[in-house]
Amino acid sequence: MRVDTEPARRLLAWYDRHARALPWRSPPGAPPPDPYRVWLSEIMLQQTTVAAVKPYFRHFMARWPTVEALAAADDAELMSAWAGLGYYARARNLLACARAVAAQGGFPDSESALLKLPGIGAYTAAAVAAIAFGRRAVVIDANVERVVARLFALADPLPAARPALRALVDRVTPASRAGDFAQAMMDLGATICTPRSPACILCPLESLCAGKAAPAAYPVKAAKRPRPHRRGTAWWIERDGHVLLVRRPGRGLLGGMRALPSSEWSDSPDETPPCPAAWAAAGTVSHIFTHFALTLTVRAATVSADCEPPLEGEWWPVDTITEAGLPTLFAKAAATALQKEWHDRTTL
């Protein structure tokens, strides 16, 4: 393989001056950060912005400062701490991975060994190997895809172009400062080579970039399929200043999270209420999941003190509902129920 050293030379010189200061990073040229910090941040950053991740990362590090501490965490406590970050399978895999790492005495330092851990895919394995252990690895996220597709004016559409992109990233990845190079590529894509209105005049690779005349054309993307739309109902069951919350099944969407009782989510869900009550329409909320869009109708009722709905759950104080660790969808549903004037309706 022919290695092109000029892009890395320019990019690392730029990174030494302009690297973002992030709580999980070491400064350019400094010893690498603790693998735990790198791994935790990379899991959190999957399909989530840096701005959204920062407070969660700081909270996790304060609550669980080591991988051993995280391995000992209570499942429900961790899921509540994750609430709002989305993609909740990541949280379940996070705990499984922490326990596997603690059991074997620490993180392995190679991509192949990292790939054997729960919840670690090709990107995360490469990122941890490069950033935490200085291993030469081909680290490719969405920012890197965009930078390299433009740099080489790659005309093949994604996702079919990914093998070619990987070969091109491999071609420019240096043998030394692997972690700094990976983070420099990410920073360049996040701050200069952005999806819209890239600041090409500030880019250290500008004179090398084959796609600079039309950067918006790269990367080429295949046409998106329409996202299916599903419907459902969430039930706000209030009793004596408390609302009924249930725990969703451990597997599947929002698995293991506290939630309002809800119907199935489908094209034509069965919206039979979970118990007799004077149900009032409290509004609707919308949410976009990876593979479908959802509109959730919120129906609310106040039930009498001796009413026991046929659901396993817990009665949570309405005044502290924001502390229940509800995922974003159900936090929106709860806020909708609380904003509506339905409390004066007939109660059971």
| Number of residues that this document lists for the chain | 348
Token couple for 18: 């302009």
The residue from 42, 111, 145, 238 that is catalytic is: 42
Sign of CA dihedral 309, 312, 313, 314: positive
Q: How many CB atoms lie within 10 A of CB 77?
A: 12
The one-letter amino acid code at 103 reads: A
- Amino acid sitting at position 101: V
CA distances from 62 to 21, 101, 132, 167, 214 (A): 19, 19, 20, 39, 45
341 is catalytic: no
Phi-psi label, residue 84: left if phi above 0, alpha if psi -120 to 50, beta otherwise: left
Distance of CA 111 to the CA centre of its chain: 21
Residue 45: phi, psi to the nearest 5?
A: -80, -10
CA separation for the pair 348, 333 (Å, rounded): 22
CA distance 170 to 187: 18
The residues that are catalytic are 42
